[in-house]
């Protein structure tokens, strides 16, 4: 959301809460450097959680095309940023999505939009992976879907165990991807470089 865009209801109230949070942390929200911070954070939080206002199924349905193609379609290296629901700290990485059409395909950019919608909510990586898979499965009715998400979690890097180089990988699959051979084909294609 750019500054000229409209924001969701509750923006002022959200800013008031951040003003109070600054006070509770021992800061002075009236000092020059923090004067506009509560509103900036409120706007940022509305942007980072805009996925609650969007319907991922509708995005896919809006670009559904009848096509007699039944081989694997892969959209890989989809960058995403999300907020961990446990600490509200960022986690970020790449999502890789494959599906095998069953009479219908969707616009390739719509797969990335589905990832954006689910990542722009308070999340855990495991649920986000499942939600992406289920959305594609329920909307396109393909022969199979597989989603792999690789992410770095700031809650592990900035606090707690403070492990800077750890990456968490999650996967969900259904249909034709229940066969080890099909999953392996996806993984091989995922790691091939063009």
Per the annotation, the verdict on 85 as an active-site residue is yes
Catalytic (active site) residue 135: no
In 65-179, which ranges are continuous DSSP H helix?
Answer: 108-119, 125-140, 154-157
The verdict on whether 84 is a catalytic residue reads yes
Of the residues 86, 126, 138, 179, only one is catalytic, namely 86
pTM: 0.91
How many other β-carbons are positioned within 10 Å of the β-carbon of residue 120? 21
The whole-angstrom separation of Cα 89 and Cα 95 is: 19
- Residue 87 is a catalytic residue: yes
Asked about 155 being catalytic, the answer comes back as: yes
The series of mean pLDDT values per 10 residues for the chain, 194 residues long, is 71 96 97 96 96 97 95 97 96 97 96 98 98 98 97 87 85 96 92 64
Closest Cα to residue 134, out of 97, 185, 82?
97
Rounded Cα distance between 88 and 57, Å, is 26
């Amino acid at each position: 959301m750019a500054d000229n865009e409209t924001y969701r209801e509750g923006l002022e109230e959200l800013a008031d809460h951040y003003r109070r949070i600054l006070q509770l942390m021992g800061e002075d929200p009236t000092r020059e450097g923090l004067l506009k911070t509560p509103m900036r954070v409120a706007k940022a939080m509305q942007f980072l959680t805009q996925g609650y206002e969007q319907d991922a199924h509708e995005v896919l349905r809006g670009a559904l095309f009848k096509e007699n193609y039944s081989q694997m379609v892969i959209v890989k290296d989809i960058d995403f940023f999300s907020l961990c629901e446990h600490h509200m700290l960022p986690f970020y990485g790449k999502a890789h999505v494959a599906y095998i059409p069953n009479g219908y395909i969707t616009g390739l950019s719509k797969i990335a939009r589905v990832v954006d919608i689910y990542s722009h909510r308070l999340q855990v990586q495991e649920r986000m992976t499942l939600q992406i898979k289920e959305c594609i499965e329920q909307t396109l009715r393909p022969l199979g879907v597989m989603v792999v998400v690789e992410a770095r979690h700031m809650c592990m890097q900035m606090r707690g165990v403070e492990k800077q180089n750890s990456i968490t990988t999650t996967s969900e699959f259904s249909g034709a991807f229940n066969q080890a051979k099909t999953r392996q084909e996806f993984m091989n294609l995922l790691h091939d470089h063009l």
